[in-house]
């Protein structure tokens, strides 16, 4: 069980580091959005590239942020029921939730992988003139984000199994 705890701690550390990078994307998004608003309404200037950058930044925030939220217990859970459970039953629920989460993550990774490869094979870029090229990089955040979430579900499940022992 000590090995499970060490593995869970290593995953937690990795997710925390990725979460910090994701936080930088939040700061960049604020700067880009403020700049876009200032240029559009203050100077009647705009850029397709800068507007697309907003949602290109939102992808890592949302997809990597999900694992970070799970890591820090900020995910959605029905605490009204969960709070009344014994510690053993909480651990059981956490194991079941972890396994279910892992299954969903694996399915999303499998379903999105071909989507990303197809985009990469076509060297897909923005459909808009002046938009951001290499759209496949944006799409690659889908399996990458769910892989990170999968890792965090593994860590949560390891921790729950340790509590059950």
Predicted pLDDT of residue 127:
83
- Name the token pair of 121: 């094979």
Between CA 127 and CA 113, with CA 58 as vertex, the angle to 5 degrees is 65
- Name the token pair of 11: 């995953």
Q: What string of pLDDT tens digits covers the 165 residues of the chain? A: 788 888 998 999 999 999 988 889 999 999 999 999 999 999 988 888 888 899 889 999 999 999 999 998 877 766 778 778 888 999 999 999 999 999 999 999 999 999 999 999 998 888 888 888 888 888 999 999 999 999 999 999 999 998 888
CA 23 to chain centre: 12
Q: Provide, for the chain, the percentages of residues in helix, strand and coil under a 3-state DSSP scheme, each rounded to the nearest 5.
A: 80, 0, 20
User: Buried b vs exposed e over 130-145: b needs ≥16 C-beta within 10 Å?
Assistant: ebbeebbebbbbbbbb
Between CA 18 and CA 10, with CA 117 as vertex, the angle to 5 degrees is 25
pTM for the model stands at 0.87
**How crowded is residue 39: how many other Cβ atoms within 10 Å of its Cβ?**
14
Return phi, psi of residue 126, to 5°. -65, 145
Predicted pLDDT of residue 34:
95
Predicted pLDDT of residue 46:
83
């Amino acid at each position: 069980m000590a090995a499970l705890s060490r593995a869970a701690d290593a995953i937690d550390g990795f997710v925390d580091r990725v979460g910090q990078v994701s936080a930088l994307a939040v700061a960049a998004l604020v700067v880009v959005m403020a700049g876009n608003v200032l240029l559009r309404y203050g100077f009647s200037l705009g850029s397709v590239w800068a507007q697309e950058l907003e949602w290109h930044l939102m992808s890592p925030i949302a997809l990597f942020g999900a694992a970070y939220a799970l890591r820090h217990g900020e995910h959605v859970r029905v605490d009204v029921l969960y709070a009344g459970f014994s510690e053993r039953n909480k651990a059981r629920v956490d194991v079941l939730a972890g396994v279910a989460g892992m299954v969903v993550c694996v399915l999303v990774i499998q379903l999105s992988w071909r989507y990303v490869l197809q985009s990469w094979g076509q060297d897909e870029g923005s459909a808009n003139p002046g938009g951001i090229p290499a759209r496949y990089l944006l799409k690659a955040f889908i399996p990458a984000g769910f892989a990170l979430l999968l890792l965090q579900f593994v860590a949560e499940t390891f921790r729950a199994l340790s509590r059950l022992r």
